[in-house]
Amino acid sequence: MNPQESNLERLLLKSVSNFFSHSEVIRYYPDRAREVGLWPHERAMFQRFLEPPPTVLDVGCGARCEAVELARWGFSVVGIDIAEPLLENARALALELGLSIPFEVTDGAKLDFAGRSFDYVTLTGQMIHHVPLRKNRIQLLREPGRVVRSGGAILLTYHDWGLKQDHQPWRSRQPASRGGEELLEIAEPGDRLVDECEGAVTESGGFVHNLTKAEMELEVADAGLLIRERARISTVAGGEPNDYWKPTRILVLEAGTATASETE
Ligand SMILES: C[S@@+](CC[C@H](N)C(=O)[O-])C[C@H]1O[C@@H](n2cnc3c(N)ncnc32)[C@H](O)[C@@H]1O
């Protein structure tokens, strides 16, 4: 990697943790967790694809409530995220509800867990879009493949850009700062800065990489994962998803054998 690329990578990665540590986003997530909890379609998705009591690693857990809700259902959950302020709120919510959930600041691409230590790994809430650069998304997918037990599953949700264009006019903001301009100039095709967080408009711009179904499935394959099941959030039971969730696709994944890059 040349020095320019490594600067770009640092800038992109920092922009994600900055966005998710921004006061507006920090305010938004715990309010959502208390007021909404899981959306009905989201609850239906977890009920359909995960079965308690096994262990779950929730990657990119934020401060909302997938981890909290799963712990309430009897799963033994560990939540990880790169945004410490969100985790502080997640810890406060768990404490309030009398739940014991370790929330750790960890990059999903560099997991500090032994191999085969979880029955399920969840990468939900479309967190994959906030991982800059294809190679980092592949590494972030490869790690769950390492820590998930054989017979277990990885649950991944993402917005299919092909479907998203039909459902939701995409809002993007022009960056005000030089740093922001650099992001738009040098990022991979499909990268955007957006002024929304799960449908809520924010003043700060956040990094998003748009993925098509073909791109997502190629990244999954390059991470050495196998697709066990595909579903659309709009077809799992639990009511009609809102516009934000309509283009969401679900992949149930399992660890495959050696990846292409490992066998070369
Ligand atoms: C759209 S939010 C979803 C949060 C939560 N899963 C939910 O649905 O409410 C994406 C989350 O992924 C986290 N994230 C982004 N990159 C990450 C990484 N490399 N490792 C761990 N977490 C990451 C962000 O900090 C943020 O909390």
Least confident interval from 34-43, 55-64, 252-261: 252-261
**Which residue has the least CA distance to atom 4 on ligand 1?**
62
Decide if 122 is inside a domain.
yes
Q: Is the pLDDT of residue 64 over 80?
A: no
Decide if 227 is inside a domain.
yes
Decide if 263 is inside a domain.
no
Least confident interval from 1-10, 54-63, 144-153, 169-178: 169-178
Render pLDDT for 207-232 as a digit per residue (tens, 0 to 9). Answer: 888 889 999 999 999 999 999 999 99
β partners of residue 194: 206
Number of separate domains in the chain: 1
Pinpoint the alpha helices (H) of the chain: 3-20, 23-35, 40-49, 66-72, 84-96, 134-147, 161-167, 178-186, 213-222, 260-263
What CATH number corresponds to the domain at position 25? 3.40.50.150
Decide if 56 is inside a domain.
yes
Q: pLDDT-derived band of residue 202, with 50, 70 and 90 as boundaries?
A: low
**Which residue has the least CA distance to atom 27 on ligand 1?**
62
Taking the CA of residue 126 as reference, the ligand 1 atom at the shortest distance is 1
Segment 185-189 long-range contacts (CB within 8 Å, at least 24 positions apart)? 186/8, 187/8, 187/12, 187/132, 188/133, 188/134
Decide if 73 is inside a domain.
yes
- Per-residue pLDDT averaged across 233-239, rounded? 87
Q: Is the pLDDT of residue 167 over 60?
A: no
Q: How does strand 225-232 pair with strand 248-255? A: antiparallel
pTM summary value: 0.89
**Best residue among 17, 18, 20, 157 to mutate for probing ligand 1, ranked by most atoms within 8 Å of CB:** 20
Choice between 145 and 261, residue whose per-residue pLDDT is larger: 145
Choice between 19 and 155, residue whose per-residue pLDDT is larger: 155
Which tokens sit at 235?
């077809």
* Cβ–Cβ under 8 Å, residues 132 and 99: no
* Cβ–Cβ under 8 Å, residues 228 and 155: no
Decide if 57 is inside a domain.
yes
* Residue 164: HSE in the Cβ half-sphere, 13 Å Cα cutoff: 18
- Dihedral (CA of 135, 214, 170, 245) sign: negative
Give the range of the structural domain holding residue 243, as residue numbers without chain letter: 3-257
- pLDDT score for 192: 78
Decide if 111 is inside a domain.
yes
